[in-house]
Structure 1
Amino acid sequence: MRVTSGASDRLRTDRWLRLDGTTNTRDLGGLPTSDGGSTVPGRVLRSDNLQTLSEADVRRLVDEVRLREVVDLRTTAEVLLEGRGPLRAVPEVTHRHFTLLPERGHHTDVFAVEEDALPELPADWAESILPRQVTEGDQGEPPAVRSYLGYLAHRPENVIAALRALAAPADGATVVHCAAGKDRTGVVVAFALAVAGVPHEEIVADYALTAEVIDDLVAKLAASPTYAEDMVRRDVASHTPRAETMRRVLELLDERHGGPLGWLTEHGFGPEEQAALRARLRE
C-alpha cells in the first residue's frame, strides 16, 4: 500500500500530542487497517523520554488523556541515571520496565531500587546505554537494521512482555517509550500495529514521522548528561530514522517468519494474545 500525500498530511497534523517536556509523543489511533478500519485514538501512545514533563503535562496526560500505564523500554542504567520522572509520583499510573538491550547484572524490579544509591557502573556503560546492540549475523544489512534485529535476537522475551503490557485491559491510555521514542519504541510499535492489521507502508510512515521532530529531539537529549555525549558525537542525520530501515526490517520478518505475526507466534505470543492486542487497538 502506497502512502498518499493526504495520509502524510493527516499523520503530521492529527496525531501529535504537543507537550512541554517531550518532542516525539503521538497517538497510535487513526491509522488505516488493511480491512478498511482504523486504529482507535486514546488507547496507546508512543513517546520519547518522559523525565522532563512539566506539571501541566502531567495534569493533561492523567486528567485529559487518562494515561494509566507507562511501558519503559530503557536500560536499567538509563532509568537510574535519569532518576524518578514526575509520573512516578502519580498513584494512578503504573510503570513497567522491559529493556530491549542485554545488560550486566539483574534487577527484578528496576523501580524498586530507584531510591537507592546509584550502583557502580562498568567503565564502558555508555556503550550499552543506547540502542547499539546488533545481531551477529546479517553483516550485509545497514547498521540500524542490524540494531533492530538485535533487539529481537537478544531480548525477544521483553519485546513480547512489552506487547503483553499493551494488550492488557486498561481503564485509560498506555504510553510506550524509550529515550528518543524512535528505535526501541519503533520496533515494539511496529509489531503492535502489525497485529492491529495496519499495512506495512503505514507502519513505515509512522516510524519515519519522527524525522519531522529530529532537531528538537536531539537538542532535548543533548541537554541530559546521560545522552549528551552520544548526541554530539554523531550528527543529526545519523540519528534520523529512515523509512527504508523499517521497511527492510518488515521485509526480513516476512521472508524469515511469514511476517511480524509469525515471529510473535514463534516466540509465544500466539493467536489469543494477538487477538487481545488487536482488540485494544481496534474497536
Structure 2
Amino acid sequence: MSVFLPNLRDVGGMSADGGLVKPGLLFRSAVPFASDLVPEGITWPPTTIIDLRSSKESVIESGHPLAGAGVEIHKIPLLTELSPGEVPVDNLVDLYQLVLKSNSGRLVQVVETVADSTGATLVHCAVGKDRTGISIAMVLSLIGVPRDEIVADYLETAKNTLDIRMRLAAMYGLDEPVPESNFLRTPVAAIDGVLDLWESHATGATGWFTEVGGTDNTIDKLRDSMVQ
C-alpha cells in the first residue's frame, strides 16, 4: 500500500541573507520507500539523495529505495565513529553534541554535496529528525536563515510522530507502530545546543564550518544556488 513519505518537507520559503530560500531545492524526510506518495507539485525523485544512515541500518535493503536513472545516492553516515555504548539514545542533547564532535568532517561532506547538486536534494536518515535535523540546520545556518526559523523547522517533526512510528514498523515488518520513546521526541534543547555551539564561534556558524574543514567557496555556492 502506498502512503505519503513521512516527515517530508521542503525548506524553501524561509528567510535568508538577502532574500528567501528557493523552494524545490532542499527536502528532508524519514527513510523513503519506492512506493511512497509525495504532495502534488514536487518533482520526484530528487536529483541528489543524501542518506545519513549507517550500513547496519540499511542492511535489509538490496539498494537505496529511490536508486535509479538520473539519481545520485550519497551515503554519508553520521554516527559511524561512535560505538554503541557511546550513543546516548535517551539524551538527545548529548547525542547531537557527540555528532558534532565526532562526525564534523562528514557534516562538511553533507554540505558540500548539497552545494554541488545540480537539482533538488533530499536529506534523510531513519526518521528525518536527528542526523537530518543537524545537517539541515547546518545548511540553513550557512545561508543566513534566522535561528528561530531553524528551530521551528526542527520542531515540525513532532507533528509527524505517528507516521514515523508506522514507517519504522514497516521497515522491520511489524504490524503495529513502534512504541513511543524519548528517541522519537524533538526537544528544543537539543537543537538549541547545536546552534549555541556554532554561534559561540568567533565568526558564527560559517567560522565553525571552515574550522572543521569546510571552505568559503562551498558557502558561496550554497548561497548562490539556494537564496533568491
TM-score range, shorter chain: 0.7 to 0.9
| Residue 92 to residue 193, structure 1, CA distance change in 2 (3 Å) | same
Quote how far apart the aligned CAs of 1:84 are: 2.3
Alpha-carbon distance between aligned partners in 2 of 1:212 and 1:279, rounded to the nearest angstrom? 32
CA distance in 1, matches of 2:37, 2:163: 20
Q: Give, as a single letter, the amino acid of the residue that structure 2 aligns with 1:275.
A: D
Q: Distance in 2 between matches of 1:66 and 1:221?
A: 21
Which is greater in Rg?
Answer: 1
| 3-state DSSP of counterpart to 2:47 | strand
Query: Is the CA contact 1:40–1:282 (under 8 Å) kept in the aligned structure 2?
Result: yes
Q: Deviations over 1:175-212 (max 9, x none)?
A: 01100000000001000000111011110000111001
Percentage of pairs with the same residue: 30
Matched, 1:98 2:79: no
Whether the 8 Å contact between 1:43 and 1:173 is mirrored in structure 2 is: yes
Counterpart residue identity of residue 204, structure 2 = G
Q: 1:253, 1:169 → 2: CA distance?
A: 24
- TM-score by length of structure 2 reads 0.86
Q: Which runs of 5+ in 1 are unaligned?
A: 1-18, 105-124, 135-141
What is the identity, as a one-letter code, of the residue corresponding to 1:133? Answer: V
Q: Deviations over 1:232-267 (max 9, x none)?
A: 3xx345512122321222112222564322210101
- Which structure has more RCO (C-alpha within 8 Å, separation ≥ 6)? 2
Matches within 5 A, 1:1-283: 20-33=3-16, 35=18, 37-50=19-32, 52-54=33-35, 64-65=43-44, 67-88=46-67, 90-102=68-80, 127=84, 133=87, 143-170=91-118, 172-225=119-172, 231-232=178-179, 235-236=180-181, 238-256=183-201, 258-283=203-228
The residue type paired with residue 24 of structure 2 is G
Q: Which amino acid aligns with 2:80?
A: P
Task: Kindly indicate whether the alpha-carbon contact (under 8 Å) linking 2:51 and 2:74 is maintained by their aligned counterparts in 1.
Answer: yes
Relative to its length, the structure with more helix (as a share) is 1
Q: Tell me, yes or no, if the aligned pair for 2:47 and 2:117 is still in contact at 8 Å.
A: no
